[in-house]
Amino acid sequence: MRFDILTLFPGFFDGPVRESIIGRAVANGIIEVKTWNIRDWAPGKHKTTDDAPYGGGPGMVMKVEPIALALEALSNATDAARPVVILPTPQGKPFTHAQAQQLASCERIIFICGRYEGFDERIRGLADAEYSIGDYVLTGGEIPALAMMDAVSRFVPGVLGEPESAHDESFTDGLLEYPHYTRPEDYKGMRVPEVLISGNHGRIALWRREQRIIRTLERRPELLAAAELTPEERRLVERLKGN
Ligand code: 6GU
């Protein structure tokens, strides 16, 4: 799978693309990440990528032409599959686990990273989808593009090792993760739950499932409506709620 990132700050991606699991996937040739400087498609001596807003007001607005030209140049390749173009914006649909999984089957994704106070509305017309990564405003699309690329890559076969991929339960069944512990058994009086050292795998599995339900109820109760629970587990939720 290949990611192309259009940005005014290609250096932003140097570390994240080299390190850790994504770095390993790139080194192994499972994913490919190419960054492109939008400025390289800006016309004129000054290579301007932004301009004053029509109608006045503060700040500058990113221009449409450099991005349009960049996309044209990137799509001119002889590839069979058309790339999917994603525009990270705070006004986009919330980006979810399900979208990450779905996008992982694309051969190629292009991210357009906007900066400054805004971008020309016509840039939206160049994208197939707009996504937001949460209800807060970031200074640009670079961090959201990295977050989405990371979430998508986890679903690309071979990116995660075996023990890691088996771990994928977390959002697929709509419950949060259970608590994890490793040595020491006692850290300043905070003990590892007894059940985890019992060696009883049946009890451990039950405890973990229950912990996931309790945790989801406490922290993200809105997730429970869509979670995959047995009738018995639904009754447990009602009991925990005090009903
Ligand atoms: Cl996708 N872009 C920006 N600039 N801010 C955000 C965002 C995206 N998602 C949440 N905040």
Break the chain into its structural domains and give their ranges.
Answer: 2-163, 168-242
| Type and span of the H or E element at 3 | strand 2-7
Cα 38 to middle of ligand 1, angstroms: 19
Of all protein residues, whose CA lies closest to atom 7 belonging to ligand 1?
90
- Is the whole-model pTM more than 0.85? yes
User: Minimum mean pLDDT among 8-17, 114-123, 165-174, 200-209: which range?
Assistant: 165-174
Judge whether residue 153 has pLDDT over 80. yes
Which residues have C-beta atoms less than 6 Å from ligand 1? 88-90, 92, 132-134, 136-138, 140-141, 144
Q: Tokens for 206?
A: 């039950």
User: Minimum mean pLDDT among 47-56, 78-87, 137-146, 159-168: which range?
Assistant: 159-168
The pLDDT of residue 50 = 95
End-to-end CA distance of the chain: 49
Mean pLDDT of 33-39: 98
Q: Which fold would CATH assign to domain 168-242? A: Trp Operon Repressor; Chain A (1.10.1270)
pLDDT mean across residues, the chain: 94
**Cα–Cα distances in Å, from 44 out to 23, 38, 66, 113?**
36, 14, 11, 22
The residue type of 127 is A
Q: Tokens for 186?
A: 């006692």
Judge whether residue 10 has pLDDT over 90. yes
Cα 193 to middle of ligand 1, angstroms: 39
Ligand 1, pocket-test mutation among 7, 132, 135, most atoms within 8 A of CB: 132
Q: What secondary structure letter does DSSP report for 104?
A: T
Judge whether residue 106 has pLDDT over 90. yes
The pLDDT of residue 69 = 97
Ligand 1, pocket-test mutation among 143, 148, 150, most atoms within 8 A of CB: 143
The pLDDT of residue 210 = 97
The pLDDT of residue 75 = 87
Confidence of residue 171 (pLDDT cuts 50, 70, 90): confident
Of all protein residues, whose CA lies closest to atom 2 belonging to ligand 1?
89
Q: Ligand 1: which atom is nearest the Cα of residue 145?
A: 1
SS3 15: helix
Confidence of residue 117 (pLDDT cuts 50, 70, 90): confident
Q: Ligand 1: which atom is nearest the Cα of residue 92?
A: 1
The pLDDT of residue 79 = 67
Judge whether residue 166 has pLDDT over 80. no
Write the class of the CATH domain 2-163. alpha beta
Higher local confidence (pLDDT), 154 or 78: 154
Judge whether residue 182 has pLDDT over 90. yes
